[in-house]
Every structure is written in C-alpha cells, then in structure tokens.
C-alpha cells in the first residue's frame, strides 16, 4: 500500500471521517456564534470579553481552530492534487497555504490564551 505524506489521515476513509467531523465542529461553532449575536442585543467590548473569558468558550474556540486546520489541510490537498498538475507548483502552493493555516492556529492560540 502506498502512503502519501500529503494526507493528514492514514487513508482516504480516515481523511473522509476527519473532514466530516471537522465540518460538524465548524458548523456547531457557527451556530453558537450566530445565537450569541442574535441573543445579545448590544454587542459591546465588555460583552465580547465576558464571552471569551469563560474557559469552555476558549476550549470550544480552540477545538474549532484545530478543526479548521484539519479541514483546510485535507481540503487543500484534495483540491490541489486534482487541479494543479505541475508538481513543483502544487507542492509550493500546499506549503504556503498550510503554513498560513498553521499561522492562523498559532495566532488564535495566542489571542485566546495570551501565551
């Protein structure tokens, strides 16, 4: 069996499960944020800080950021493999875009936890 270093999971089925699970987490977070904005009549800085001062919101946001990274990593690999045929261009794009996704995760961790 050929293993591919570009995939995040061990196989296509594993990648499929990871991308679907990450999509569920991203959907749950989007619904949570929409409910927050609908239920909060005046979103002020104090309300925003109050929301994100709760540990469970920080953890939920961190899980969402990790899910976004997983979703982007697998999705980028699939799209670039299908549509970008020159190997050097595909590898360069994968590298740049995956570094950007990792930067988003690190920035999110720093903003959330003040590391």
Establish whether 71 is an annotated binding residue.
yes
pLDDT at 11: 81
pLDDT of amino acid 114: 86
Distance CA 79, CA 106 (A): 24
Q: Is 14 annotated as a binding residue?
A: no
Kindly tell me the burial class for residue 73, based on how many C-beta atoms sit within 10 Å of its own C-beta (0-12, 13-18, 19 or more): buried
> pLDDT (tens digit, 9 = 90+) per residue, 2-19?
455 555 556 889 999 999
Q: Which domains does the chain have, with CATH numbers?
A: 12-113 (1.20.1300.10)
Six-digit token pair at 27?
């959907």
pLDDT in tens, 49-89: 999 999 999 999 999 999 999 999 999 999 999 999 999 99
Q: State residue 1's pLDDT score.
A: 45
CB neighbours (10 Å) of residue 32?
15
What is this structure's pTM? 0.85
């Amino acid at each position: 069996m050929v293993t591919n270093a570009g995939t995040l999971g061990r196989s296509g089925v594993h990648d499929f499960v990871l991308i679907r699970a990450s999509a569920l987490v991203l959907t749950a977070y989007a619904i949570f944020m929409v409910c927050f904005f609908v239920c909060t009549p005046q979103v002020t800085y104090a309300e925003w800080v109050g929301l994100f001062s709760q540990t469970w919101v920080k953890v939920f946001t961190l899980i969402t950021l990790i899910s976004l990274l997983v979703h982007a990593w697998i999705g980028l690999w699939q799209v670039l493999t299908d549509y970008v045929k020159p190997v050097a261009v595909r590898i360069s794009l994968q590298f740049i875009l995956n570094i950007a996704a990792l930067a988003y995760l690190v920035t999110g961790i720093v903003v959330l936890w003040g590391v």
